[in-house]
Amino acid sequence: MHLFIPGPTNVPDAVRCAMNVPMQDHRAPDFPELTLPLFADLKTVFANGTGRVVMYPSSGTGAWEAAITNTLNLGDRVLMSSFGLFSHLWATMAKRLGLDVICVEREWGEGVPLEDYARHLGEDKTIKGVFVCHNETATGVTSDIAAVRAVMDAAGSDALLYVDAVSSLASIPFEQEAWGVDLAVSGSQKGLMMPAGMSLLGVSAKALEAHKSSTMQRCYFSFEDMLTSNDLGYFPYTPSTPMLHGLRAALDLLFDEGLPQVFARHHRLAEGVRRGVDALGLSLCALDPKWHSDTVSAIRTPEGVDAGEVCRIGYSRYRTSFGGGLSKVAGKVFRIGHLGHLNEVMCLAALASAEMSLADAGAKIELGAGVAAAQDYYRSATATLEAEAGAT
Q: Is-contact 293 84, C-beta < 8 A? A: no
CA separation for the pair 297, 338 (Å, rounded):
8
**Through-space distance between the first and last CA atoms of the chain, rounded to whole angstroms:** 40
Instruction: Cis check for the bond before 8: say yes or no (omega within 30 of 0).
Output: yes
Say which CATH class 13-256 falls into.
alpha beta
CA–CA gap between residue 229 and residue 314 (Å, rounded): 46
Q: How far apart are CA 260 and CA 207, in angstroms?
A: 27
**Share in percent of the chain as helix, strand, coil (round to 5):** 45, 15, 40
Annotate 70-135 with DSSP letters as a single string: TT--TT-EEEEEESSHHHHHHHHHHHHTT-EEEEEE--BTB---HHHHHHHHHH-TTEEEEEEESE
Taking CA atoms, 181 is separated from 82, 150, 202, 360, in Å, by: 19, 11, 9, 45
CA angle 12-86-98, nearest 5°? 125
Structural domain spans, the chain = 13-256, 259-391
The predicted pLDDT at position 377 comes to 98
The SS3 call for residue 60 is: helix
- What's residue 380's pLDDT? 95
Bridging pattern class, strands 320-324 and 2-4: parallel
**CA 27, CA 5: separation in Å to the nearest integer?**
37
- Give the pLDDT confidence score for residue 391 in this predicted structure: 79
Residue 67 is predicted with a pLDDT of 98
Q: What are the residues whose beta carbons fall under 8 Å from the beta carbon of 85, sequence distance 6 or more? A: 136, 137, 138, 326, 327, 328
Look at residue 214 in the predicted model and tell me its pLDDT: 97
Q: What is the mean pLDDT of each run of 10 residues along the chain (392 residues)?
A: 96 98 96 98 98 96 97 98 97 98 97 98 98 98 98 98 98 98 98 97 98 96 96 96 98 98 98 98 98 98 97 98 97 98 98 98 98 98 88 75
Q: For position 387, what pLDDT does the model report?
A: 86
**Other CB atoms within 10 A of residue 345 CB:** 10
Q: For 298-361, what is the HEC assignment?
A: EEECCCCCCHHHHHHHHHHHHCEEEEECCHHHCCCEEEEECCCCCCHHHHHHHHHHHHHHHHHC
What's the rounded Cα separation, in Å, for the pair 207 and 212?
9
Residue 199 main-chain phi, psi, to 5 deg? -105, 155
- Ordered DSSP codes for 139-167: TTEE--HHHHHHHHHHTT---EEEEE-TT
pLDDT at 168: 98
Report d(CA 11, CA 97) in Å as an integer: 34
Q: Are strands 283-284 and 296-300 parallel, antiparallel or unpaired?
A: antiparallel
> What CATH code would you report for 259-391?
3.90.1150.10
